[in-house]
Each structure stands twice: as C-alpha cells, then as structure tokens.
Amino acid sequence: MYGNDLSPTASPVTRNDDNLEDDTDFQATIDSAGRIEPRDAMPEAYRNNLIRQIAQHAHSEIIGMQPEGNWISRAPSLKRKAILMAKVQDEAGHGLYLYAAAETLGADRADLLDMLHTGRQKYSSIFNYPTLTWADMGAIGWLVDGAAIVNQVPLCRCSYGPYARAMVRVCKEESFHQRQGFEILHTLSNGTPAQHAMAQDAVDRWWWPSLMMFGPPDEASPNTERSMRWGVKRFSNDELRQRFVDMTVPQAEALGLTLPDPELRWNAESEHWDFGEIDFTELFEVIKGNGPCNAQRMAHRRRAHDEGAWVREAASAYAAKRAADDPVQAVA
Ligand code: FAQ
C-alpha cells in the first residue's frame, strides 16, 4: 500500500541522503510534480520535516478520538451510537495509516509515541476543547472534519507518495464524517427551541478554535515556505483558512445557525468572506499545553498506552513465534 518494498534484509533507506539539501535533481523532481517514494534519496531536512508533520497528524487522529469517544455511551439513539462508533474507529484507522506512512521514512512508531507522551511532538489544538453537549458531535463533524478536509485534500497531491496515498482514503472518510455532523446539526437546528439553542451554542464554541486548526498566520508560520517549496503543503495556512470560511458560511445559512463573528461580510471585490480577527494568543497557549483539556487528554492517552502494553507484548510474542516456526510465511 505504501510502496515500501522492504525485504527482511533491506533497510528502509538505501541511498545516501548526504548533501542533498541543494540537490537540483531533487528539487526538479518536486517541481515537475513528481513523487518521492520511500527508497528515493531525499534531503535529511525533507525527511525530518515530513516525519514531523505526519507524526503530528497521526497523533491528532488518535487524540481526536477522545472528545467524541466521550459521547458514545450517551448518544441519543442506537443509530446515532452506531454512526459515532464507526466515525471514532475511522479516526483510529487514520492514525494507523499515518504512523505507517511515517515508518516508510525510517521513523520508529514506538519513538513517535514516546515523543507524544513526553510532549516533544504536538497534536492538533482543536482536541483540547471539551465536548459539553450532544450538539458538539454535530459541530465537530461539520466544522472540525470540514476544516480537516479543506486542509487534507491538497495533501492528496503531497510530494511524498505514501502520505499522499494515505490522504486519499482519509479524505473520503472525512467527507462522510463532515456530512454526519452537518446532519446532526440540521436535525437539532430544526427541532425544538431548546435543541436549536444547543446547536447554536456548540457552533459558538467550536467556530473560532476550528479556524485556529489551520495554524498560525502565514507571517508567523516558520514551516510553510519550505514545505511549499518541497510540495508537502500546496497552500499556506491563511489560504486554506479563507477557503474554509468561504465554504462554511453558506452551509451555516442552510443550517439556520449563526457563525459567531459580527465582522463576517461578503467582499464583492475579493469575492471572499471577510472575517474578524482571530485570537492567536489562544492558539499559542493551547499549543503550549494550556488549553482547557490538554492535561486530561494526555493523561488519558498515557493511561491507554500503558494499559495496552500486554497487547503489544502478546502481538510481538506471536510474531516472533510465527517467524521461528515459518520464517518465509512470517515476512510474507
Ligand atoms: N495545533 O509553521 P507552522 C483531524 C504548530 S486531523 C497544534 O504553520 P506547519 C481529523 C506546528 O506543528 C487534524 N500545533 O506548521 C479529525 C508547528 O510546530 P513545530 C490535524 C499547531 O506544519 C477530525 C508550529 O505550530 N491535521 O482533525 C497547529 O507548516 C475529528 C508552527 O506552525 C493535520 O495535522 C495546531 N492547530 O502547518 C480527527 C494536517 N498549527 O512542528 C478526529 C497535517 C500549527 O514546528 C476528530 N498538518 N501548529 O514544532 C498540516 O497541514 C500542518 O502541519 C499544519 C501546520 C497546517 C497543521
């Protein structure tokens, strides 16, 4: 799936990456929309930048299971429960494709998890906000998955093959997630006055954090220039944020809900929606660990990891036994 033709004796990286930082062939391949595959030579900085982004993305998917997982036992009907369980399972799957993609770059999954658990790698700010009502399941699907799609569709054209291919499937699943969130909010918005108020309250709380998901403004984004030159990112943070606003405003109208920004205005000249100033100090505080749920999310993640130790040990023992019994079958 990831184009990783590793035999038991081959290492993931067979070519010499030294001195490739200025390699014109490498940049020429990127510029001609060529794909970089796991066994291709690549500058060490390109490799590290990808590991950084893919690992953070994987961690986000896994930590992102928590806010919605919180509502599985309280879903208002069996149908809603089944849909939410499927969605949360999808997020786990996304995390696994992404860890596998990072492994094709030579990263070790256990190391990546260790970096998450010790705070040396990040995950998306959005998952540090609480899910207070059922309407939050609608707001997360509609806004958070909606933002994720806007961010990730261009990543299907990322220069690194395994990441781009993982994104194709992820985006298909995120589209379903986004629509189920929209449908939850549509039902609530057209329900009783109390249900409508619950939907509006959720949108009020999730709107601004969703805009922050796209990252700092371009002038404060240290990674964008290089990531765009290397074809990892195809658009800047601000470009994608604007695209999300333009897509979402008409959807809010269709839902009969108000986006909590008095400065939202159609700009006939730019043909985009103008929006109010984002409080980026809040984003930086949440990234630093000071959001409403950072401590809770990390404690839960570490506990889940510790409690899963026996599963990892059993899987390793089984794999070792299979390898000893039948070395050819074990690597097939
Ligand atoms: N939260 O220079 P830039 C989802 C960090 S998946 C936390 O602009 P870059 C699915 C950034 O890492 C959501 N940290 O960085 C779902 C960097 O730190 P570093 C995740 C943030 O990489 C739905 C520093 O700030 N999606 O939602 C954030 O060029 C529902 C400077 O920033 C992805 O990860 C933030 N919001 O652009 C699951 C998509 N923003 O590493 C469950 C892939 C920035 O230098 C339920 N990633 N930072 O120490 C990307 O597209 C990019 O990495 C960006 C950031 C756009 C997130």
Report CA dihedral (162, 165, 167, 170) to the nearest 10 degrees.
-120
pLDDT of residue 33: 78
| Residue 23: predicted pLDDT | 72
Query: Could you identify the atom of ligand 1 that is nearest to the CA of residue 224?
Result: 29
Atom of ligand 1 nearest to the CA of 212: 36
What spacing in Å lies between the alpha carbon of 133 and ligand 1's midpoint? Answer: 26
Q: In whole angstroms, what is the distance from residue 159 CA to residue 39 CA?
A: 14
Nearest alpha carbon, ligand 1 atom 43:
57
- Ligand 1 centroid – CA 254 distance (Å): 29
pLDDT on residue 327: 74
Q: 273 pairs with which residues across the strands?
A: 266
User: Are 218 and 280 contacting, i.e. CB atoms less than 8 angstroms apart?
Assistant: no
Q: What would the 3-class secondary structure string for the chain be?
A: CCCCCCCCCCCCCCCCCCCCCCCHHHHHHHHCCCCECCCCCCCHHHHHHHHHHHHHHHHHHHHCHHHHHCCHHHCCCHHHHHHHHHHHHHHHHHHHHHHHHHHCCCCCHHHHHHHHHCCCCCCCHHHHCCCCCCHHHHHHHHHHHHHHHHHHCHHHHCCEHHHHHHHHHHHHHHHHHHHHHHHHHHHHHCCCHHHHHHHHHHHHHHHHHHHHCCCCCHHHCCCHHHHHHCCCCCCCHHHHHHHHHHHHHHHHHHHCCCCCCCCCEEECCCCEEECCCCCHHHHHHHHHHHCCCHHHHHHHHHHHHHHCHHHHHHHHHHHHHHHHHCHHHHHC
In single-letter form, the type of residue at position 79 comes to K
Tell me, in angstroms, the distance from the centre of ligand 1 to residue 317's CA. 36
Among 137, 287, 288, name the best residue to mutate to test ligand 1's pocket (greatest count of ligand atoms within 8 A of Cβ).
287
Task: In whole angstroms, give the CA distance from residue 230 to residue 225.
Answer: 9
Atom of ligand 1 nearest to the CA of 151: 51
How far is residue 12's CA from residue 42's CA, in Å, rounded to a whole number? 12
Instruction: Look at ligand 1, atom 25, and give the residue with the nearest C-alpha.
Output: 215
| Ligand 1 within 6 A of CB of 145 | yes
Ligand 1 touching residue 35 (CB < 6 A):
no
Give, for ligand 1, the residue of 116, 124, 175 to mutate: max count of ligand atoms closer than 8 Å to Cβ.
124
Q: So what's the pLDDT on residue 8?
A: 43
**Integer CA distances (angstroms), 93 to 167, 211, 262, 281, in order:** 12, 25, 38, 32
Instruction: Per-residue pLDDT tens, the chain, 332 aa: give them.
Output: 444 444 444 444 444 455 555 677 888 889 997 899 999 999 999 999 999 999 999 999 999 999 999 999 999 999 999 999 999 999 999 999 999 999 999 999 999 999 999 999 999 999 999 999 999 999 999 999 999 999 999 999 999 999 999 999 999 999 999 999 999 999 999 999 999 999 999 999 999 999 999 999 999 999 999 999 999 999 999 999 999 999 999 999 999 999 999 999 999 999 999 999 999 999 999 999 999 999 999 999 999 999 999 999 999 999 999 999 987 766 55
From the CB of 180, is ligand 1 less than 6 Å away?
Answer: no
Exposure string of 104-114, with b = 16+ CB inside 10 Å and e = fewer, is bbebeeeebbe
